[in-house]
Copies of this chain bind each other. A is one copy, B any other.
Amino acid sequence: MKLLRNLRKISTFQIPERGHYKLLDNKDIDFFSSILPSHSILTKDLDAYNTDWLRFHKGNSSIVLKPKTTEEVKSILEYCNKEKIAIVPQGGNTGQVIGSVPIYDEVILSLQNMNRILKIDSSQGVVWTEAGVILEYLNSFCEEHGWIVPLDLASKGSCFIGGNVATCAGGVRYIRYGSLHGNVLGLEAVLPTGEILSDLKGLRKDNTGYDYKQLFIGSEGTLGVITKIALLLAPKPISQQVAMISCKSYENVLQLLKDAKQGIGEILSAFEMMDSYIYSLLLKHTPRTRNPFTADSEFYVLIETSGSNKDHDIEKLQAYLENGLKNNVITDAVLALDQEQANNFWRIREGTATATKSEGYVFKYDLSLSIAKMYDLVRKTRERVGSLGYTVGYGHVGDGNLHLVVSTNEKEKAHRILEPWIYEQIQELKGSVSAEHGIGLLKASKLKYTKSKVMIENMKLMKNIFDPNGIMNPYKVLNNSN
């Protein structure tokens, strides 16, 4: 990991008081040393483990445990539960909501050493893996067998599949392959009580009682530690085509999306919108990109198809684009002719995080909204922020998921203008305050804008079943600010 820059502290989140957890002493270290080999225990140079990906927060843990087996996880959890020692499970630590780092001195349980792919069934397309396998590596392994992981994220080179499941990660191919709630076939999870919930049969259908592995998908480490996963794969596409489209209005984007679902729905694997504001930042700040268009436009859409027959896919995509041009829904369109062009288009889209950061302090909102009203919120925000910052909108519009970002050099002022106003807007529009990034600590106090009191109360009851002493990833998702 790189050297960490200064923390980007700002009062956008509240830190609850430290819970009544035991302070680690020598007896505890001795216990951990008795069950783990010495190279699986770190007590020095822990900055990278203590600090979150976006450098919002640095915790103060003095120990990282790296179990290699489910039994080791079980021993750690049982002990900590008995002693009331708080734990934060950590995968690739690439989360965006302060979910995988200690807030105070929680023991860090890193899944780094549980990094074996266990088995693949090439007939059915199912892979069994430990939680600490890096997404990109898992995908490469599956590709060799003719399959792909139905999930693709910009952080794929660092994030772990266990973290993906624990946070119910979304990403760019969600529009095609859907949610991990549909694709995770089974889990092994260790509870703080030492119980192991194990269902790794890898069956596609299993209607035998409450499907409560689903609770762990998106639980962000607050219920237990996911140690193994059985995952449904998608066939590796034979042909992938990428096109970049420009159009005049958001209404055109909506029409394009509808036409895409109906006309090329079976091969559509990405539909990513960028407004002209983010697009110009992307061209400015992303190395090795070229603008495929000669004229400026209001909106840009990257479309990707994945299919089994190149001729068919190109024919469908071309017909779709020609139809859009004919109906004046599309202003201009460029179909990538080779991999280099395709990479150029994707590079533009994937440069968003760097591009927005280059313009100042970043307020990033990861929203779900009904797509019809989605862009109105960007316009309203831009108007409200005015000259105080630069407001852009982009994202997985095909899934109703917008990333709304304000870059500013006046962070305290912008903060006061933006919050809680923006969350109230989301609530009014019946949206979600977190489409795919989760809640963590960062958004715990915002949960109420999406979930009713009753629902939050029931979540707390559920947490209490699995984690009666509240040692699992405390302060995250559910806390006193809900």
Instruction: Give chain A's interface residues, CB within 8 Å of chain B.
Output: 121-125, 146, 167-168, 170, 174, 178-179, 181-183, 195-199, 201-212, 214-215, 217-219, 223, 234-236, 254, 257-258, 261-267, 306-309, 312, 315-316, 368-372, 396, 399-401, 430-439, 443, 447, 450-452, 454-456, 458-459, 461-463, 465-466, 477-478
With contacts A178-B182, A211-B214 known, what are 20 further pairs, Cβ within 8 A? A168-B211, A181-B182, A203-B432, A203-B435, A204-B368, A205-B368, A208-B432, A208-B443, A208-B451, A209-B447, A210-B219, A212-B459, A212-B462, A214-B215, A236-B262, A264-B308, A266-B267, A309-B315, A309-B316, A312-B312
Do residues A205 and B174 form an inter-chain contact, with CB atoms below 8 A?
A: yes
B residues in contact with A123, CB < 8 Å:
254, 257-258, 371-372
Tell me the complex Cα distance, A202–B371, Å.
Answer: 11
The answer to whether A125 and B217 touch across the interface, beta carbons within 8 angstroms, is no
Contact of A201 among B316, B430, B465 (CB under 8 A): B430
Instruction: Name the B residues within 8 Å of A438 (CB-CB).
Output: 207
Q: Which residues of B contact A437 (CB under 8 A)?
A: 207
For A209, list chain B residues within 8 Å (CB): 218, 439, 447, 451, 455-456, 459, 477-478
Query: Are A401 and B204 in contact, with the CB atoms below 8 A?
Result: yes
Closest residue on chain B to residue A369 by CB atoms: B203
In this complex, which of A174, A179, A452, A456 has the most chain B Cβ atoms within 10 angstroms of its Cβ?
A: A179
- Nearest-neighbour CB distance to chain B for A438, whole angstroms, equals 5
This chain's copy number in the assembly: 2
What separation, in Å, do the CA atoms of A371 and B400 have in the docked complex? 36
Question: Can you name the residue of chain B whose Cβ is closest to the Cβ of A214?
Answer: B214
Q: Dominant SS at the A interface?
A: loop
Does B447 contact A122, Cβ atoms closer than 8 Å? no
CB within 8 A of A461: which of B214, B217, B465? B465
A209-B439, A254-B123, A439-B208 as given contacts; A203 in contact with B433, CB under 8 Å: no
* Min CB gap A228→B, angstroms: 14
Given A207-B434, A209-B447, A459-B212, A371:B195 Cβ within 8 A = no
Residue of B nearest to A233 (CB): B261
Residues A207 and B214 in contact, CB atoms below 8 Å apart: no
Chain B: minimal CB distance from A94 (Å): 15
* B contact residues around A199 at 8 Å (CB): 451, 455
CB A272 to nearest CB in B, in angstroms, measures: 14
Whether B458 and A212, one on each chain, are in contact in the complex, defined by CB atoms closer than 8 angstroms, is yes
A308 to B317, CA, bound (A): 12
With A125-B261, A181-B182, A201-B432 in contact, is A207–B454 under 8 Å at CB?
Answer: no
